[in-house]
Chain A
Amino acid sequence: MLELKNISFEAETDGVKKQILRDISLKIDERFVAVTGPNGGGKSTLARVITGVNTPTSGSILFDGEDITGMSITERAKKGISFAFQQPVRFKGITVYDLISLAAGKKLSVSEACSYLSEVGLCARDYVNREVNASLSGGEIKRVEIATMLARSTRLTIFDEPEAGIDIWSFTNLINVFEKMYQKIQGNIIIISHQERILDIADRIIVLADGRIAADGTKAEVMPTLSKQKPIVCDVLTEKL
């Protein structure tokens, strides 16, 4: 179970401080939790704070009752937190096989690595020896990223917009991947997404807007509030109008 207590995060760009997360408190123990909300609302920052990439300005994070706020990225990963990036990182010379093996934490057999690739809809034979470099398309590297999450199989996995770059035909398979993943590891899965079909399978939906929790509940509870959200309009434009 993941618990956030009064998490705030402030970033400074060009000397100007901006509050990205404002006093967020949450307990997450559901199977699938979807985090949604407008761009710039703090969703990715929340994922980065949970995984240790960003350090919160204040507040604390508990994972299965243990305070992990002061832990490094590596320590949190070892405790069982995984993070699929919105924009997966590319490496010169590191192959898909290498990356999946690193994720699994052991040297896998080629057939084991291939089975993870097949699960995400990649023809394993064509990909296992490819480098995770610029030659992979956005959709391909995104699937490789998801395959590494399967190889890790940890108690908590956070996906940051996993659907981005994946074609609509493969989308159903992607949802099956999440279902299977849950069956296999029985861990919590947090998915940051704007896709209604992902929101459909979520046990709980959290709406983040302007760094705050704007809504939190089941789909039936949250969806009506989503449509009532005020669109964000640029102040300057409003003044001109």
Chain B
Amino acid sequence: MELDLIQKKLLEQVADLHGIPEGAYNIRSDGKLAGRSTTAHIDIVTKSDKPGIDIYIKDGTKNESVHIPVIIEQTGLNDLVYNDFYVGEDCDVVIVAGCGISNCGGKESRHDGIHSFHVGKNSKVKYIEKHYGEGTGTGGRVMNPTTIVELDENAHMEMETTQIKGINDTLRKTSGKLAAKASLIIHEKIMTTGEQRAETDFSVDLDGEGSSANVVSRSVAKDKSSQLFRSMINGNNKCAGHTECDAIIMDAASVTAMPQLTANSVEASLIHEAAIGKIAGEQLTKLMTLGLTEKEAEDQIVAGFLK
């Protein structure tokens, strides 16, 4: 397959790719398959009952990666896709997903990606997801990613999810269900500008003994944008859960943080932290004494915060 310039730029933004990736991949462009590659250990199969793919990763697959980027250039496209990952036992893999929308038209372009992960015993998965929007058109860029994670015994998943600018409206739902000794780490980074709206909804069930979850969100809300962060951890066994929301609010933005903990076991140890505030004046002052203007100082602080 050959990529045009816009496709290349979107791929670079959502998957850090500078062309066709190595290893297993599935590229979806404007709702259609644009390229696929499988390996001896990783198979990708198109679903027959609904749009989307099933990704099978064999037991013992180590140091391999799967890229499944989605790019949308067609204005007015409403793309719904189901991607199911079946990760075997004793694996160690990196999965990179992401969606880039370049909407230069007047109609709303929308991508709803529903990703489910079934991670087998003793497996490690690093999942990186980026969302990016651009385009000069008046049409909205909407993304509603849903992530469902099921971790078997002693499985470990680390999820990095990033949405920096460009997406007008998003509802991001992530749920996790953890068996004994399984652990889930989620790092979310969000920046909203203009009149954008971002809603995040995490829900983690710590079912197994010795399971743990750490859900950390850092966000910056600028201009008139609004954000809602909801994070729920249920401790149903001897487990450890931590959720943290740290937000910088600027201009006329609005941020709501709703951490929620439920302990259904006396052995559950759960913590939540939530902090919302403007950039500290002394941080700006310090960087200005190093020769930065107030705007440059603000940009540095925000870039560092979301790094």
Contacts and interface: CB of A to CB of B under 8 A. Distances in A.
A28 B281 CA distance: 29
Contacts of B246: 92
A206 B33 CA distance: 76
A74 B292 contact: yes
B289 A73 contact: yes
Contacts of A73: 285, 288-289
24 contacts: A53-B285, A73-B289, A74-B292, A77-B288, A85-B286, A89-B282, A89-B283, A89-B285, A92-B218, A92-B246, A92-B304, A92-B305, A93-B303, A93-B304, A93-B307, A94-B300, A94-B301, A94-B304, A98-B304, A102-B290, A102-B292, A102-B300, A105-B290, A148-B290
A103 interface: yes
A73 B307 CA distance: 27
Main secondary structure of the interface of B (DSSP, over half): helix
Contacts of A148: 290
B305 A72 contact: no
B306 A74 contact: no
Interface in A88-103: 88-89, 91-95, 98, 102-103
Interface residues of B, number: 22
A78 B286 CA distance: 14
A32 interface: no
Nearest to B303: A93
A82 interface: yes
Given A73-B285, A85-B286, A89-B282, A78 B304 contact: no
Nearest to A51: B289
Interface of A: 51, 53, 72-74, 77-78, 81-83, 85, 88-89, 91-95, 98, 102-103, 105, 148, 152
B293 interface: yes
B132 to A, nearest CB: 20
Nearest to A80: B291
B300 A105 contact: no
A81 B286 CA distance: 13
Given A91-B283, A94-B304, A105-B291, 18 more contacts: A53-B285, A73-B285, A73-B288, A74-B294, A77-B290, A81-B289, A82-B289, A82-B290, A83-B289, A85-B286, A89-B282, A89-B283, A89-B285, A89-B286, A91-B301, A91-B304, A92-B246, A93-B303
Contact of B305 (A74, A78, A85, A93): A93
Contacts of B293: 74
B287 interface: yes
A195 B301 CA distance: 34
Nearest to B286: A89
A91 B282 CA distance: 10
A86 to B, nearest CB: 11
B244 to A, nearest CB: 12
A81 B301 CA distance: 22
Contacts of B289: 51, 53, 73, 77, 81-83
